Structure 1
């Protein structure tokens, strides 16, 4: 059995796992993400040391949100961590004496799903990860597609509404402003603030006026319990996701589209609406083969599993 370590660096947590060549996480550890980004390489090195024990992993794969250069070592830009042209791979490798591969976190998750999850029956996969924003990863003919500069598949910033809602990237009308967990929460809170009588159950989440308690998981739970407005909000969210997926399929022509990320926890409650919108908006649908749209299979572990496998099959 060939072991590798996968690391997922998020805005609040750094999680790592010792992963077998069958995609099984044998052991996992985590630490909070520090406010001081210069401390991250040392934390990653410590996690790797704790996971290694008596084992000798073949390498370490790191998934990080942001633009990762074609050298698969430099984080050019990260939205939630103060990294600009950060030599993350070299900094970590100097501390652990193991090969290190750095990959965009959604790319790593896509690779994990391709190898061991929702896309293991195909050579062409599009992963759409729906969290606070929208991330994406593309596997084409069995290879991870990184683009000419290493920053492909930033699908959350595809423009879907001209002059629409201002996005954190500086543009307006981006996909993630309409089809993400952030959009779900924004719309739910707006209904409460505007005094919509249908929002009584949602308003109760923020008892005392604390809108921060109105979260995506909380609204999803209400929808699962049958609250009509929460169901409506998830229906709208699924429509946006499905419309975007249809536009992406027009360009990429994947065989499988996997929907992952936190919003996917809504399961069939949202997937049906995604599929319906995808089918409605896919051009010339009656005259083309059609991608299978399905939920991702690996959950929050996809990034760790995928990053570890990339360190194994695409060593630095």
Structure 2
């Protein structure tokens, strides 16, 4: 079925393809989400593509859609057509964009989820007005994205920048990437739990609510639990957050020494606890940066768009692709495949 798209800035769909859920939104040219659907993430490649097909078709029945963008946590080829590897998804060297485009008869692009998020923040959120911008998404690990003169930098092979895997502690904590001492092992939601357990093992005299939780069931501890305890004033949790702030500031100093950004955006799940650590992280950053006191420092902000950034950014990037190709019509069949 063919539909005319209203106006010069067509509606597009942005999809956050997570390991647990697929979240898809219709986004207009001002970055506003008009309609959203969600579905569980299947565990096979065919089932996942079927699920994506269904959610797009559901939205297309209600809106004239011009293109689709997928935000994926994984390695994407530089042409944004193929998922090389995504640790929480079943795609490996899979031409996802082509497959979905053929099924939907719509342009489809892929983007790393952090790239999509920084693009959304640049167009509509915390990074507006920035020129050289680094986004650090802190959740289970660290995702990162880089804008240079307002353009996304993806590297030669589409995988840059992997800032979370900068080694900050030689022979430090083991990382799932295969290395040891990566920045994300000391500055992430997972790191909050690991640091609490290590601190208690080194100094078991702590008698706090968090300490009792750890003794009772260390495997149940989460970064969210640590942050909540710190919010309540738990001394052990406060100490853990101070350690986290130090590592964040040190890491941002490394990043600034390499890229010299004018703006850093802190995103991801841990960013919601920013009042517990951001001021201390800024102070550590100011001390640790090369040439401290003799150079301008990057502004450090938290996300404005939150968890919606990936969807909004993927939709906006898909809109840009549509404009580049000059396509002004949308074709989506109602029948299922």
> What is the number of residues matched between the two proteins?
315
8 Å CA contact 1:264–1:270 kept in 2: the answer is no
Residue of 231, 239, 243 corresponding to 2:238: 231
Which SS does the other structure have where 2:208 is aligned?
helix
Residue of 193, 212, 234 corresponding to 1:185: 193
Counterpart Cα distance in 2 of 1:276 and 1:14: 38
Determine the structure 2 residue equivalent to 1:286.
293
Counterpart Cα distance in 2 of 1:270 and 1:195: 22
| CA 1:175–1:46: 2 relative to 1, 3 Å | same
8 Å CA contact 1:17–1:27 kept in 2: the answer is yes
Determine the structure 2 residue equivalent to 1:271.
278
8 Å CA contact 2:211–2:236 kept in 1: the answer is no
Give the Å deviation of 1:227.
1.1
Greater shift after overlay, 137-146 or 54-63? 54-63
Which SS does the other structure have where 1:314 is aligned?
helix
Give the Å deviation of 1:109.
0.8
**Deviation digits for residues 50-88 of structure 1 (CA, Å, limit 9, x no counterpart):** 122242222111011111001201011112223221111
Determine the structure 2 residue equivalent to 1:295.
302
Counterpart Cα distance in 1 of 2:237 and 2:290: 30
Question: Aligned pair 1:255/2:262, yes or no?
Answer: yes
| CA 1:49–1:246: 2 relative to 1, 3 Å | same
Determine the structure 2 residue equivalent to 1:106.
114
Determine the structure 1 residue equivalent to 2:36.
28
Give the Å deviation of 1:46.
0.9
Residue of 308, 313, 317 corresponding to 1:306: 313
8 Å CA contact 1:133–1:180 kept in 2: the answer is yes
Please give the TM-score of this superposition, normalised by the length of structure 2.
0.89
Which SS does the other structure have where 1:31 is aligned?
strand
Greater than 6 Å deviation, 4+ residue runs: none
**Deviation digits for residues 265-313 of structure 1 (CA, Å, limit 9, x no counterpart):** 1122111122111111111022222110111111111111111111012
Unaligned runs of 5+ in 2: 1-8, 326-337
Counterpart Cα distance in 1 of 2:161 and 2:198: 30
CA RMSD of aligned residues (A): 1.8
Determine the structure 2 residue equivalent to 1:59.
67
Counterpart Cα distance in 1 of 2:203 and 2:279: 29
Counterpart Cα distance in 1 of 2:202 and 2:40: 36
Please give the TM-score of this superposition, normalised by the length of structure 1.
0.94
Counterpart Cα distance in 2 of 1:62 and 1:34: 16
